[in-house]
Structure 1
Amino acid sequence: MQSADVCTTQKAAEILGISVTSVQQLVEAGVIEAWKTKGGHRRIPLAAVHAYRGAPAPDAGGQSRQAANAVPAILVIEDNPMQRQLYDKQINSWGLQASLRFCENGYQALIEITRHKPDILLADIVMEGIDGYEVIRTIMRDPQLAEMHIAMLSSLTPDDLAERGGIPSGVVFFSKPVNYDELRGYLRACCASHARRVAPGA
């Protein structure tokens, strides 16, 4: 295979818009094809990266979109860069068989949701422009997104939440500062639910 046809985990992460750790987890789970060089460096066929992304690619190496869908996609909307780094570190340390993406605001999130339809959404509420409430309401109006697991993460008080219409039905609320043990349990449950839904014969 020509060197132009393969890439590193870093490059794959840039193409997919996810962390290097997430790419490594997808490789270890067999979702994205890869191998190691004699020096111990991972090499990934670009066709396999584009197959996971869902973009057309010739000779996609047998990596079907159905296989990619076996791994749930988590999307986090958070406008605070330090908080995004903390979420990235925490979530990737839990060994979830899931991909992880981040958006800085509601505009980015709506575009990302349209393109990739994540399985799990963690949304900050108070953001400039389109806030978390608007993103969630948009999702809940779309029947094609009805199976998405949605959680709000915010430091808003119960009174503030009530003024904004309360917590939508079916949405889970985590108060900031987030209890990461609770968030880990929630994400594990969401991943298990997704695995049951995509299992053969389900």
Structure 2
Amino acid sequence: MLKDHTDVCTTQEAAEILGLSVTSVQKLVEGGEMPAWKTPGGHRRIPRESVLAFKASGTVPRHDKGAPTRSTLLVVEDEEMQRAVFATQFAKWNLPLDVTFCKNGYEALIEIGLRAPDILFLDISMRGLDGYEVMETVLNRPSLRDVNIAIVSGVLSEELAARGGVPPGVAFFPKPVRYDELRGFATACCMRKQRLYA
């Protein structure tokens, strides 16, 4: 029986140890290549010993070989109409993207906690926990350092400046959105992930 929490890893921790995406670790678990169990809350737990043994084996997961690598996109937008427009545009892009929508910052943090996205599109002006706070949370978590963040908002640059501005490495796309520019950003993020897992 495992004695304490240091004997086990979350999928995020296992991904960091192995240098893989969380999705790849999940596939390893689901494929029976790495033993794991689920907590009552539905979260996977993996014996640390198994993760280290898998890393020492030098085995490259077959899920990362040759197959097209899909990227995950999380869109945080409180306006229903804008979410619908985004969905229509994304469908035209023909990119390897799996898209999830959240209508507020609280939903977004829960989703990010369950599965860190590769790409994050954030509206800033939302009730309650807004996009800027979500962004700061992601930027302050070392385990989320690989998330590509873009602010997609009608907020004025002066308002952003009053809150600290746009952090280095974060893209800013003002509304009304120029979808060709947004598509370019998403394409670059997808290509980056494909190069990493080629």
Q: Secondary structure at the match of 1:122?
A: strand
Mapping for residues 110-121 of structure 1, pairs under 5 Å: 110-121=109-120
Mapping for residues 154-173 of structure 1, pairs under 5 Å: 154-173=153-172
Q: Secondary structure at the match of 2:165?
A: coil
Conservation of the 8 A alpha-carbon contact between 2:68 and 2:194: no
Deviation at 1:161, TM superposition (A): 1.1
User: Structure 1 residues 58, 183: closer, same or farther in 2, change over 3 A?
Assistant: closer
Conservation of the 8 A alpha-carbon contact between 1:119 and 1:147: yes
Tell me the amino acid that sits aligned with residue 123 of structure 1: L
Name 1:71's counterpart in structure 2. 70
Q: Distance in 1 between matches of 2:64 and 2:164?
A: 37
Tell me the amino acid that sits aligned with residue 169 of structure 1: P
Tell me the amino acid that sits aligned with residue 148 of structure 1: V
Conservation of the 8 A alpha-carbon contact between 1:52 and 1:64: no
User: Does 2:97 correspond to 1:98?
Assistant: yes
User: Structure 1 residues 147, 58: closer, same or farther in 2, change over 3 A?
Assistant: closer
Could you list the runs of 5+ residues in structure 2 that have no partner in the other structure? 1-22, 34-60
Q: Distance in 1 between matches of 2:168 and 2:175?
A: 20
User: Structure 1 residues 53, 79: closer, same or farther in 2, change over 3 A?
Assistant: farther
User: Structure 1 residues 145, 59: closer, same or farther in 2, change over 3 A?
Assistant: closer
User: Structure 1 residues 113, 137: closer, same or farther in 2, change over 3 A?
Assistant: same
Q: Secondary structure at the match of 2:134?
A: helix
Conservation of the 8 A alpha-carbon contact between 1:54 and 1:65: no
User: Structure 1 residues 65, 110: closer, same or farther in 2, change over 3 A?
Assistant: farther
**Deviation digits for residues 155-194 of structure 1 (CA, Å, limit 9, x no counterpart):** 1112111111111111000000000111111111111011
- What is the aligned-residue identity percentage? 44
Aligned residue pairs: how many?
147
Could you list the runs of 5+ residues in structure 1 that have no partner in the other structure? 1-50
Q: Distance in 2 between matches of 1:53 and 1:82?
A: 35
Q: Distance in 1 between matches of 2:68 and 2:76?
A: 21
Deviation at 1:70, TM superposition (A): 2.4
Taking only aligned residues, the RMSD between alpha carbons, in angstroms, comes to 2.6
